[in-house]
Amino acid sequence: MNEERGAAAELIWRPATADDIDAMHASLAASDRVDHPTWVTPRDEIADIFELSHVDPERDLLLALAPDGTVVAQGWAFLHPSHDAELHAYLQGAVHPHWRRRGIGTRLIEWLYTRARELITETGSSADAAVYQYVDDGNIGAVILGERLGLQTERWFTSMQRDLAELVDAPLDVDGVEFVPYCAERASDALAARNDAFRDHWGSLPSTPERWAQFVGGAFLRPDLSTLALRDGRIVAFCLASVNEEDWVALGASNTYIDLIGVVRDQRGLRLAPAVIARTLRAAKDAGLEAAVLDVDTASPTGAHTLYERLGFHPTQRQQVLVRRF
């Protein structure tokens, strides 16, 4: 896409490059404080986008710059690299709070949606396809923009938090199962367990080795807080947790974020989930952390929302997911 001037506030619209990471991070930090004030977007998360083989920054990422070069809006459209069952494209973006209500978000999401449709078409696949937009609760403007493009709310996710000072009322052991911390040597086995556990979860597609390596090899995963359940050496359940100290000020407490909890499908109903969660909560408390945070699909077929409430988590904020299917 050629650099061009936008009608909205005489902005300059152009693709993003790796040289823009710091400016993108600064702009997102301002948006984060308004859209989801209890957590922040790490710089590493933005940098990771430029490393993914299925993302072409020249075609998939868009920036809007003020005349002085400040990033005032940014967005990216990308297609999940797993194409076997369904095609899932995602729209992500933000407008700096000082620049909202000027038509910038409209132009941004229209561009992202068009690009998402192009990504789906370029696969040449006849598989079912969908475009997803995740919106923080209260961001009514983003919901309206998505609905204008034909997206409709299909799901709600809830953020939940737990005070680690409270005792965990859950068993720490299960007969025939060994519990160990996560380690890099089990990365491939953990990926296989993750993909099996999430096969029937709404909106989930298999994670790829590339994306998985970014996650488990990144700066935030805490193996010492993460728990694997092994039966005859096979990973049958997991609770993987990370720590981003930048979140601590925003949340008002030192905390761990529980990224993934899962039980492989042939081992469900054996109390493995509460056991791995309880062990991770205990490890986080022993590490001196004050709280644990996670996100859950409110309509999960596993009843996860109810389980987390029983384990002492309480809801804090929500996120809705708008989808258009083809």
Alpha-carbon dihedral angle through residues 33, 34, 37, 42, given to the nearest 10 degrees: -50
Domain containing 224 equals: 159-317
Do residues 306 and 166 share a domain? Answer: yes
Do residues 121 and 218 share a domain? Answer: no
Domain C-terminal end among 150, 185, 211 = 150
Do residues 249 and 304 share a domain? Answer: yes
For the full predicted model, state whether its pTM sits above 0.85. yes
Q: For each of the chain's 326 residues, which pLDDT tens digit applies? A: 444 444 465 899 999 999 999 999 999 999 999 999 999 999 999 999 999 999 999 999 999 999 999 999 999 999 999 999 899 999 999 999 999 999 999 999 999 999 999 999 999 999 999 999 999 999 999 999 999 999 999 999 999 999 999 999 888 999 999 999 999 999 999 999 999 999 999 999 999 999 999 999 999 999 999 999 999 999 999 999 999 999 999 999 999 999 999 999 999 999 999 999 999 999 999 999 999 999 999 887 677 889 999 999 999 999 999 999 99
- Number of structural domains (the chain) is 2
CA dist 71 to 19, 29, 92, 110, 145, Å? 12, 12, 15, 18, 21
Domain C-terminal end among 150, 178, 200 = 150
Q: Does residue 91 contact residue 112 with C-beta atoms inside 8 Å?
A: yes
Phi/psi of residue 75, nearest 5 degrees: -165, 160
Do residues 228 and 144 share a domain? Answer: no
